[in-house]
Amino acid sequence: MVDSSWLVERLGDRTAAGVAAAIESLIASGELEQGSRLPTVREFAGVADTSIGTVLAAWNLLRERGLIETHRRGGTTVLAAGPAPEAPPFPGWAAVDLAQSAPDITLQPELGEALLASLGDKDLNVFGRDHMTSKLRDAVAPSWPFAPGAWTTAGGGTEALLLATAAAAPRGSLVAVDEPLSPGFLDTLRDLDLTPVAVAADEEGPLPEALAAAIAAGAVAFVFQPGAPFADRYAVTAGRAAELPSVIERSAVGTPFWVVEDDSIGPLAGSEPPSLGAVLPERVIRIRSYCKAFGIDVRTSVIGGARELVDRSIRLRSFGVGSNSRILQNTLAHLVESPAAARSVGVARAAYASRRAALLAALEREGAVARSGEHSLVVWVEVADEATAAVALARAGMYVGLGSKSFASATPVPLLRISVTQLPDDAERVAELAHAVAAAARGGTREFFD
């Protein structure tokens, strides 16, 4: 029988996923040979100082992968490591999201353990509603960049952004926005009867003088993307973020000007994006979405900031009676604190950066003019005509985003927006995409009546 202490020494993360991953690695390397008998669940749990349920869950994961088998009298033994699974065939470009920055779900963490952990909470099914459970608040508070006056939760990041923006800006108002905007946000502003005022940016982020001009024009709020996940060339620096509060204090004297910080990619950012909340806690509401990092079905984003705006957001959600399931909130809390989930997010972050770099390099080889922000999930390509280029790519099954859908102001040149999150890790496929995009960017297609 394999010695429990020997096995424990080779563990990192002691969650079910972490234990299973460590044993799978030992099997793949040959350190655990076919026929090796694993310790009993009870014995191993005691030596590893973890629960029997965690070990059972790990054994189940290994069993599902065909790496171990359990017999009532013979215990649990290691099976032969099978050949590495073949990569699935390329599904075609029409199946790859190049427009909306939907995440690659194969890079997201397993949800099973987090969901199971949430089911043991003593407050489950207690009558009433928790706009934010204590577990979730305790999990996210240490990394929140300022002390919020109040907390709540919403569904995905899109819902949270809609609620916070509606709370900050009455219908018919002007709203300052830093560009490029996230996919679909211009449509959200139209739905809310709000008019965007573009805030220009340079390589460090939104320009102070541009924000001052937007406030002078009558903007009542500023929707700010501190992580710059859709930027065309910049990443917001701490220095630039430090300049903006004084602009607001000087330009919005005596007016209820609000800042909505949209942290739409959450843990995928790597480090916490800068915030204006430390200086302007009574003016700032911050949204952190976890869907791209942990999965759309976690369906829980966190809102924290000025109490007045948080309370308004709560009232705007289903007339104040809406709330997120405690199960989903505590599932998110588990994921936020899980080392295994953090490793999965780190792998995804590195993969997205690699895919962005690969597409930029391929486009450069094709002679296309393309750019992207340091932390961006998209690549921007200059084209002769936006609609013509998009139609040409659509004929090849490549559906990309239109630059005009992300800018409130006119851009100097037409642009296409290409999401990198689902790009295949295949140089030939990326080269194929780059070739098609470069050809479409040059234009040349003419329409004829007869």
Amino acid letter at 444? Answer: G
| Tens place of pLDDT per residue across the chain (450 aa) | 899 999 998 887 787 778 888 898 888 878 888 889 999 988 999 999 988 878 888 888 888 788 898 886 678 999 876 554 566 789 999 999 999 999 999 999 989 889 998 988 888 888 888 999 999 999 999 999 999 999 999 999 999 999 999 999 999 999 999 999 998 999 999 999 999 999 999 999 999 999 999 999 999 999 999 999 999 999 999 999 999 999 999 999 888 999 999 999 999 998 899 999 999 999 999 999 999 999 999 999 999 999 999 999 999 998 888 899 999 999 999 999 998 899 889 889 989 999 999 999 999 999 999 999 999 999 999 999 999 999 999 999 999 999 999 999 999 999 999 999 999 999 999 999 999 999 999 986 666 666
Distance of CA 152 to the CA centre of its chain: 19
What is the pTM for the complete model shown?
0.81
Please report the domains of the chain, with CATH numbers, ordered by start residue.
Answer: 4-78 (1.10.10.10), 93-107+340-442 (3.90.1150.10), 112-337 (3.40.640.10)
> Residue 450 has what pLDDT?
66
Task: Give 42-103 as a 3 state SS string.
Answer: HHHHHHHCCCHHHHHHHHHHHHHCCCEEEECCCEEEECCCCCCCCCCCCCCHHHCCECCCCC
Task: Map residue 201 onto helix, strand or coil.
Answer: strand
State how far Cα 132 lies from the chain centre: 20
223 SS3 class: strand
Residue 317: the pLDDT is 94
Residues 6+ apart with CB under 8 A from 316: 163, 166, 167
3-state helix, strand, coil in the chain (%, to 5): 45, 15, 40
218 strand-pairing partners: none
**Helical ranges in 217-280 per DSSP H:** 238-251
Task: For residue 159, count CB atoms less than 10 angstroms from its CB and return exposed for 0-12, middle for 13-18, buried for 19 or more.
Answer: middle
Residue 21 has a pLDDT of 83
DSSP state of 400: B
Q: What pLDDT sits at residue 206? A: 97
pLDDT at 85: 53
Comparing CA positions, the residue from 108, 372, 100 lying closest to residue 266 is: 108
pLDDT at 80: 72
